[in-house]
Structure 1
Amino acid sequence: MEDDARIIDRNPLPAGIDGRLAAQLTFIAEADRLKTVLRASPLAAADRRENDAEHSWHLALMVLLLSEYADEPIDVGHAMRLVIIHDLVEIYAGDSPVFDAAAVLDQREREESAAERLFALLPADQAREIRELWDEFESGATPEARFGKAMDRLEPMLLNWLNEGGTWRMPGATVERVRAREAGVVAAATTLGVVTDAFITHGLRNGWIRPEPGTEPA
């Protein structure tokens, strides 16, 4: 970001609003920035890239519709909360395309710093709650976090398939790296892993995914 100004500072809230509510509205206003953070993934329905807010909404929808394929029982509502929260830090940290080696070098440090700054806008109890949700997703230590991460891998794979390559055509993408991303789906939803395997196998044959040097697609 270019400066430390909050969106709410452009047109401050009217006087007299309760302090807790004012803090919550300030955070919600700042979250509007998520709509401006572009990801590498192209949309299937329009000739442009998706933004983080669209991505988070799509993940929530996927959790709702595909939860029956989770390998472990999950609390769907909790998993939806995790995926809605997980990319908020990119408001300040920016997106880090997985096939761009330079972009992911300091990703964790940028996102930790962004989490401290962003969540501090909320009342203390909600700041702790949202930070705990973010940490849970990042750690992948619960069934809900693991399934949320699976959706986070599946969604761009579906968009890439629908776009005949998408980010699979980035210079840093090879079939081995694409397979590494697929592993996050397989680890939490074996049935959905069958789908991602088909995406990759046929994407490789179609020339949408680069084979490893010295190999040819089967």
Structure 2
Amino acid sequence: YFQVSTFGKKLFISTISFFRCIKMAIVHDIAEAIVGDITPSCGVSKEEKNRRESEALEHMCKLLGGGERANEIAELWREYEANSSPEAKVVKDFDKLEM
């Protein structure tokens, strides 16, 4: 997420947390470290993509031993996937730029 870290800080408004965006971008890539970057051109349904990434994230959180940090990672990932915050929307937009 070079683009988020390099250009993002200049574009952020006070209502969006730059550091939350950075953490979310990193967490998003954690699941991809196991399943790969599944793009629309891969022909994988959204449901299957979500299932694979969800299982990968659950596995990573178990490796961390659960706890507060693992919960934060899972929360950030769910927020990103649901596109449920201004930060998630910004990170998704940057992710699309990298495709």
- The answer as to 2:44 corresponding to 1:99 is no
Q: Which has the larger radius of gyration?
A: 1
Q: Which whole-Å CA distance do the structure 1 matches of 2:12 and 2:19 have between them? A: 10
- In the alignment, the residues of structure 2 paired with residue 78 and residue 99 of structure 1 have an alpha-carbon distance, to the nearest angstrom, of 29
Q: Does 1:83 align with 2:28?
A: no
Q: Which SS does the other structure have where 1:86 is aligned?
A: helix
Cα RMSD of the aligned pairs, angstroms, is 1.9
- 1:1-218 map, 5 Å: 56-68=1-13, 73-101=15-43, 104-105=44-45, 106-123=48-65, 124-156=67-99
SS at match of 1:99: helix
User: As a proportion of its length, which structure holds more helix?
Assistant: 2
Identity %: 31
* Structure number with higher relative contact order (C-alpha < 8 Å, ≥ 6 residues apart): 2
TM-score normalised over the length of structure 1: 0.40
- In structure 1, stretches of 5+ residues that fail to align are 1-55, 157-218
AA in 1 matched with 2:76 = L
How many residues align structurally? 96
Equivalence for 1:159: none
Task: Give me the TM-score of the superposition, normalised by structure 2.
Answer: 0.82
Structure 2 unaligned regions, length at least 5: none
Give SS of 1:95's match. Answer: coil
